[in-house]
Each structure stands twice: as structure tokens, then as C-alpha cells.
């Protein structure tokens, strides 16, 4: 799986959103993008809410870039707390059909947020 995701990343399909604190990777998530669809694969945290922080920034950025939907695959209480909702299969397939063939903007994967302490 590691080799497969490395290859997908090299091809421009796999992406990660990371939360760093004091030079340490403390959380994030990764997934696969096709057109203007993003398929979240996994999240992790080494510090409380670090993956949630990455997810919120990712969702905001992808939405601003025109990504039609983030497929989180499973509906869990954790994902629902971040805004995930179940949708009918026909709605999912229609959204998928519209967005997977669209070319993403060049700025889609150039997001960086730097929080400066007060």
C-alpha cells in the first residue's frame, strides 16, 4: 500500500494535509483526488484534534477551489462532527459523474496555512 500511494502521489493523485507543531508532524489525513473529487482515506492524530484541524483547513480550501465533494467513505460520529452527512446513492453518483472529469485548477494543491501565535 505504501508503494501504491507513493506512486499515486508521484502521478499527482494522492495528497496529504498535515498539521505541524514546533517542527513535529502531529496529525493529518491523506486521500486520492480525481478531477474535482477528493476521496479521504485515513486520518491520524498524535495531539488532540490535530487531524480535525487539518480536515477543516482542507475542506475549506478544497471548497474554495471548486471540489464538488469529499468522499469520507464511512459515516461516523467523528466525521459527522466535522460536517459529514449521508447522501442518497443517486446524488453521490450524479455528483461524481459531474466532478471527476473536471480539470482541477493549478492552485488546488498549493495550500499552506501558517498560524502565528498571538
Q: DSSP string covering 10-71, please?
A: HTT-EEEEEEEETTEEEEEEEEEEETTEEEEEEEEESSTTHHHHHHHHHHHHHHHTT--EEE
pLDDT the model gives residue 118: 63
pLDDT for 36 equals 92
Low-confidence ranges of the chain (pLDDT < 50): none
53 within 8 A of 27, measured Cβ to Cβ? yes
Residue with cell 492524530: 45
Give me the sheet containing 37-45, strands edge to edge: 14-21, 24-34, 37-45, 69-71
Confidence at residue 54, expressed as pLDDT on a 0 to 100 scale: 92
Task: Report all structural domains of the chain as residue ranges with CATH numbers, in order of start.
Answer: 2-99 (3.40.630.70)
Amino acid at each position: 500500500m505504501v508503494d501504491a500511494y507513493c506512486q499515486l502521489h508521484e502521478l499527482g493523485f494522492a495528497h496529504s494535509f498535515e498539521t505541524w507543531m514546533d517542527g513535529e508532524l502531529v496529525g493529518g489525513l491523506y486521500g486520492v483526488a480525481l478531477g474535482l473529487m477528493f476521496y479521504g482515506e485515513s486520518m491520524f492524530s498524535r495531539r488532540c484534534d490535530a487531524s480535525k484541524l487539518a480536515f477543516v483547513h482542507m475542506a475549506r480550501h478544497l471548497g474554495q477551489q471548486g471540489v464538488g465533494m469529499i468522499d469520507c467513505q464511512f459515516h461516523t460520529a467523528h466525521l459527522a462532527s466535522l460536517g459529514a452527512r449521508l447522501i442518497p446513492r443517486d446524488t453521490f453518483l450524479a455528483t461524481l459523474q459531474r466532478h471527476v472529469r473536471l480539470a482541477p485548477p493549478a492552485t488546488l494543491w498549493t495550500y499552506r496555512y501558517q498560524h502565528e501565535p498571538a
